[in-house]
Amino acid sequence: MSSSLLACQLRQLKYLVSANSYLKLSQASYTVSNAESAGPVLITPIPGPKSKQLKSELDQVQNTDAVQFFVDYEKSYGNYIVDVDGNYLLDLYTQIASIPLGYNHPRITKVLTNPSNLSSFVNRPALGVFPPADFVKNINESLLSATPPGMNQVITMGCGACSIEHALKAAFMAFRRKERGGKPPSREELETSLFNKPPGNPNISVLSFKNAFHGRTMGALALTHTKWTHKLDFPSPDWPIASFPSLRYPLEDFEHENSKEEQRCLAEVEDLINHYQKRDNPVACVAIEPIQCEGGDNFASPQFFQGLQDICRKNNIALLIDEVQTGAGTTGKFWVHEYFNLRDPPDLVTFAKKMLTGGFYYRDHLRPKEGYRIFNTWIGDPSKVVMLKEVLKVIKEEQLLQKTTDTGKYMLHKLIAAQNKYPHLLSRARGLGAIAAIDFPDPQTRDKAVAKLRELGIHLGTCGTSTLRIRPTLILEKKHVDIFADRFHQVLKQL
């Protein structure tokens, strides 16, 4: 047996022993597993033989082109994801930005195994008609304890796209109530609505932004403008699409140019609203991400969002801020739009991913007047609310918002250092808390870097055209950033 193979196996054994001790850590002493200090361990190429075999089997019943590798979730822990071939990777993608506290967190495990919570997991009630007795208490201790400032209405949903769909319905209903002057709908409206005809199904629109991503269901997809794979072959309504600011980095060096770009985009928003009003297809809602994530981690300034809200207020249009990927403390504040110092709360704020449950907050004037209007069979899952309640406790007790802020600054510092060393390969380093990104000169170079990083035990994602996307947990530490930075420099040197 070669010395390198023996060393690898000994390291793997150390990892497995450490992983076992990790799962036994008490909730009081838990921060991050001591096992994580060992770093990534690679046994096979990725995907390995077991992943390839499982993918072949799954391919018999569904398209598996998107499958990267199969995961052993029992062995995954903290910031490390373990595949079925025994490879330990530092996970900076975290299930497409949806794992708040890492894998197999003991506090969450304890919640799942607590006998008093079993009914929440065994049964999945139709919450809109038969909510469980403890649902009000759990909502108050979870979602309402994290309410965006100035908002107090919330409803759960199953996922991010579902949250967008129903938030749009709330905006449409409020818009039409205002148009009717508070009167009930006419008989003609009721009857024509059943045949997809006006006036029951009116011509009203939602303004979205280029490079936006809001989901893959049909209404959310009409607001999504990233990749053709999401859009091709699907009918879509005639809704306006405005330019999202394309800023230059570092932001502090281009304040004048960026301000001019944002003003151009706001003027375009106003023009589109006026244009669609004249076409008898008025804008009822503006939907926007506080950071365009899937579209390339695109930022805009607080002044841009303040100006956008002013336009919405002037035109009696609802402002929907989609925090599906950015909420739950991802950037150091619980909601990114808290950075914007808006004059009023947004009208709607959607959430999912790190919040574990989908749903949306909304202001009082958007509350439906009748039952079954914002509805589906389950309207979310009470077990996810129970889990979220514990996640929020950990975030508060361990001061993870501040930790995420500090670690995020450290990550951005490392990205800028790499950019300065390899300016021909990297540009536009940017980030806020656990959201970080950097651009390569083209998609091919970016994808090659991602593949080489995986060979070195770093699991990352991509977004936009040529952007490397970093989406760690809230428990990421600076030592993990150092592991990433070391391997990142190895890859850049090769490239």
Is residue 52 part of the annotated active site? The answer reads no
The C-alpha angle with vertex 72 and arms to 69 and 76, in degrees rounded to 5, equals 110
Is residue 484 part of the annotated active site? The answer reads no
94: left (phi over 0), alpha (psi -120 to 50) or beta: left
Looking up tokens 């301000």 gives: 259
Cα torsion angle, 472, 478, 479, 482, sign: positive
Pure H helices in 217-336: 218-221, 228-231, 255-278, 302-314
Q: Which of 258, 97, 283, 98 is nearest to 175 (CA)?
A: 283
Q: How many CB atoms lie within 10 A of CB 247?
A: 20
Q: What whole-number distance in Å separates Cα of residue 333 and Cα of residue 345?
A: 15
Residues 6+ apart with CB under 8 A from 451: none
- Please identify which of the residues 69, 213, 244, 484 carries the catalytic annotation: 213
Is residue 102 within 8 Å of 25, Cβ to Cβ?
A: no
- Please identify which of the residues 353, 389, 403, 414 carries the catalytic annotation: 353
Question: Taking the C-alpha atoms of 4, 6, 7 and 13 in order, what is their torsion angle to the nearest 10 degrees?
Answer: 150
The C-alpha angle with vertex 354 and arms to 429 and 478, in degrees rounded to 5, equals 45
Is residue 447 part of the annotated active site? The answer reads no
Element (H, E) at 320: strand 318-322
What token pair was written down for 396? 């508060």
Burial 86-122 (b: 16+ CB within 10 A, else e): bbbbbbbbbeebbbbbbbbbbbbeebeeeeebeebbe
DSSP 127: T
- Please identify which of the residues 83, 91, 297, 322 carries the catalytic annotation: 322
Q: Which backbone phi and psi does 336 adopt, to 5 degrees?
A: -60, -35
- Please identify which of the residues 234, 238, 377, 482 carries the catalytic annotation: 377
Is residue 353 part of the annotated active site? The answer reads yes
Cis peptide before 250 (omega within 30 of 0): yes
DSSP 466: T
Q: What whole-number distance in Å separates Cα of residue 404 and Cα of residue 289?
A: 20
Q: For the chain, give percent helix, strand, coil, nearest 5.
A: 45, 15, 40
Q: Can you list the positions of beta strands (E) in 171-299?
A: 205-209, 241-242, 283-288
Is residue 476 within 8 Å of 79, Cβ to Cβ?
A: yes
Q: Which residues are catalytic?
A: 213, 322, 353, 377
